[in-house]
Amino acid sequence: VCNHTASISLVHFLHFSENLTVSFIVFVRWEEEKYEDGVKWKFLEHNGPYFPPEYQPVPDSVHFYYNGKPVKLSPSAEEVALFFAQMLDHEYTTKKVFRENFLKDWRMVSMTPEERSLIKHLNKCDFGEMHAMHKAKVEARKNMTKEEKQAVKDANQKIVDMFGYCLLDHHKERIGNFKIEPPGLFRGRGEHPKQGMLKKRIQPEDVIINCSKGSRVPVPPAGHHWKELRHDNTVTWLASWTENVQGSIKYIMLNANSKLKGEKDWEKYEVARKLKTCVDDIRYQYNQDLKSKQMSTRQRAVALYFIDKLALRAGNEKEEGETADTVGCCSLRVEHITLHDQLEGNECVVEFDFLGKDSIRYYNKVPVIKKVFKNLKLFMENKEPGDDLFDRLNTQMLNKHLTSLMPGLTAKVFRTYNASITLQQQLKELTNKGDNVAEMILSYNRANRAVAILCNHQRAPPKTFEQSMANLQAKIDTRKEQLTLAKSELKQAKKEAKSKGNSDPKLLVERKKAAVKRCEDHLLKMELQATDKEENKQIALGTSKLNYLDPRISVAWCKKFGVPLEKIYNKSQRDKFAWAIDMTDEEFEF
């Protein structure tokens, strides 16, 4: 695939070099498309989303019991019952809200009137056999033969080939989520008021298709039709539907390694880099604003101070009772902070304790400057714990102000900026020139970890953590014994070499020396691994790596210190960051 100019150059080249033997490589670049404002593509063709298989009724041998008596459920009630039965091992099914929501939807949405009048209490329901059937199915799948597993894999691959790609401006692109979400029970995070509600099966009649006017229109499953066919090239989605639990819109979109997502990613980091050039002015500004006569300006300044210093999220307001009770900066309430004039040797300490995105707890004790502290005291005067801390501020006002300071600047840019600049600083601080690759990786992970801590990216400690830690320790111990052994063998060999003096034992000494060295290297590597693992127990590095750290920092660092890039980024991460890998040399500065 060549554009015109490239083709013409190639013809000239061949013409003038006909008497030469030449090898040449043609680099084919994506032809620069000129888009009007807001236009995301010129041509888009795809096969539509993949629909999950229809529900298969359970065999007659599997019973559901109500009040101890077997009850044959109608297909729709049975399908929903199975959703619950499959989750029986999960903590969700013990939660009051989950059970209530489930029972309500099960009865109202899926049961016949007769079933509804019979089945009224969840604790009289016995899903035991359905649960056992599900477990047996999982087990059977695990025990499939190699051939059967291969057959399943091939079938899945066929689905990916058919539905997993689209054609966007003459290039085949991978779609990120090409499957319609299957029905099931809604699993919110934290204390979600809607947990357990039925997520309905999506039909083609619910789905809007977006593609080019002149393209091959995706064919809906037999006997069905789409809700709507649309040709909107100002958006990037290929299909969408409205989900019934929260009423939000779900989209089918491209994979992160696509041009569309890559360019957006690049733009994001460029905005963050631009903030670097004016962050000092902005900090000076909000420091001044802390003394403003306007209450709303002072609140804005304090919020900005938190967002900048602590990398808090903006904190849009949310509809009460529709989602779990979580907050960000602008939506903080009085109950979420405690002020300490003195704490652990520091003055003016703010103690934060609140649930953020995904109901992850943010707990931090932070010394702040006096002006901020005094303002906070003022903001909290005569307020109840449940009142808004920043009652004169919302994210729209904050972002409007930020955009006036720098085009494209919003609250979230501070998170990106602070994350990336932290990585760069930490790498500079932690990397030692002479270190080997394993030590380099540990340094990188530590720098990455500093960012993850800043952004409060947590994870539940893996269930197998203690065990695998012990395993690793055991390995280290064995290796230590080996090392002792190898050392004593080396000593022995040296002794022999001295007493005999001929060349053979000398060779032996060299060999033993190498063995000791190997052992030491291996031991060091494992010990570093153990340190890394321990420090990582409750911290998730992935999120910051994928979303907050300018990949060019990592690429430059790898080049500078001779660390293979694949030690830092796996295959799909390298795909996602291909744009950065292409353009970055070791001198890059964020």
Partner DNA sequence: TGTGACACTTAGAATCTGGATT
Partner DNA sequence: AATCCAGATTCTAAGTGTCACA
Across the chain, which distance is largest between two alpha carbons, in Å? 99
Choosing from 95, 104, 135, 187, the residue that interacts with DNA (CB under 7 A) is 187
CB of 212 to DNA, least distance (A): 15
Q: Which helix (H) or strand (E) holds 23?
A: none
C-alpha 136/C-alpha 143 separation (Å) is 10
Alpha helix (H) residue ranges in 222-319: 259-289, 295-310
Looking at residues 165 to 184 of the shown chain, list those that interact with DNA (rule: CB under 7 A): 176-177, 179, 181-182, 184
Q: Which of 48, 49, 204, 328 contacts DNA by CB under 7 A? A: 328
Closest distance of CB 235 from DNA, Å = 4
CB of 347 to DNA, least distance (A): 29
Pick the catalytic residue from 286, 417, 548, 569. 548
The one among 544, 552, 554, 557 contacting DNA by CB under 7 A: 544
CA distance between the termini of the chain: 34
Residue count, binding to DNA (CB under 7 A): 83
Q: Are 326 and 192 in contact (CB under 8 A)?
A: no
- Our CB check for DNA shows the closer of 99 and 357 to be 357
Q: Which of residues 424-443 bind DNA (CB under 7 A)?
A: none
Under rule CB under 7 A, which residues in 193-222 are in contact with DNA?
A: 199
Sequence-separated (6 or more) residues with CB below 8 Å from residue 465: 537
CB contact at 8 A, 239 and 208? yes
Antiparallel, parallel or unpaired: β 228-230 and 239-242: unpaired
**Contact set for DNA, span 380-409 (CB under 7 A):** 394-396, 399, 403
**Shortest distance, position 244 Cβ to DNA, whole Å:** 10
Quote the least distance from Cβ 266 to DNA, whole Å. Answer: 11
Under the criterion CB under 7 A, does residue 264 sit at the interface with DNA?
yes
The pattern of x and - marking residues 348 through 367 that bind DNA according to CB under 7 A reads: --------xxxxx-------
Tell me if 482 contacts DNA by CB under 7 A: no
Active site residue 548: yes
Q: Does the footprint of DNA cover residue 156 (CB under 7 A)?
A: yes
Token couple for 475: 């390995």
Which of 82/497 has CB closer to DNA?
A: 82
The candidate with the shortest Cα–Cα distance to 3, out of 39, 28, 35, is 28
- Choice between 260 and 369, CB closer to DNA: 260
Part of the chain binding DNA (CB under 7 A), chosen from 4-12, 106-114, 287-295, 451-459? 451-459
Binder among 237, 241, 379, 577 for DNA (CB under 7 A): 237
Q: CB-wise, 119 or 393, nearer to DNA?
A: 393
> Which of 318, 365, 487, 506 touches DNA (CB under 7 A)?
318
Stretch that binds DNA, among 214-222, 317-325, 373-381, 505-513 (CB under 7 A): 317-325
Give Cα separations from 464 to 423, 460, 469, 529 (angstroms).
29, 11, 8, 16
Q: Which structure tokens are listed for 295?
A: 């209450």
- Which part of the chain contacts DNA (CB under 7 A), choosing from 94-102, 412-420, 438-446, 580-588? 412-420
Does residue 522 belong to the site contacting DNA (CB under 7 A)?
no
Q: Give the per-residue SS3 of 342-368.
A: EECCEEEEEEEEEECHHHCEEEEEEEC
Q: Which residues, other chains included, contact 193 with Cβ-Cβ below 8 Å and sequence gap of 6+?
A: 97, 321, 322, 323, 324
DSSP code of 52?
A: P
Sites for DNA among residues 60-119 (CB under 7 A): 90
Dihedral angle at the C-alpha atoms of 143, 145, 146, 151, nearest 10 degrees?
-100
Burial class (CB in 10 A: 0-12, 13-18, 19+), 170: exposed
For residue 429, give every residue at least 6 positions away whose Cβ sits within 8 Å of its Cβ, in sequence order, or none. Answer: none
Q: ∠ CA(546), CA(550), CA(555), 5° rounding?
A: 95
Binding to DNA (CB under 7 A): which residues in 24-63? 40
Under rule CB under 7 A, residue 543 binds DNA:
yes
Which range of residues in 187-195, 220-228, 485-493, 496-504 is near DNA by CB under 7 A?
A: 187-195
Q: Which two tokens stand for residue 296?
A: 């709303």
Closer residue to DNA, CB minimum distance, 79 or 115: 79
Of 120, 124, 137, 153, the one binding DNA by CB under 7 A: 153
DSSP state of 75: H
Segment contacting DNA by CB under 7 A, of 64-72, 334-342, 450-458, 482-490: 450-458
Please give the Cα distance from 248 to 246 (Å, whole number): 5
Amino acid identity at 475: K
Instruction: Point out which span in 257-265, 361-369, 371-379, 578-586 binds DNA (CB under 7 A).
Output: 257-265
What backbone phi and psi angles, to 5 degrees, belong to 339? Answer: -100, 135
Binding window for DNA (CB under 7 A); candidates: 68-76, 379-387, 453-461, 494-502: 453-461
Would you please indicate which residues are annotated as catalytic (active-site) residues?
A: 548
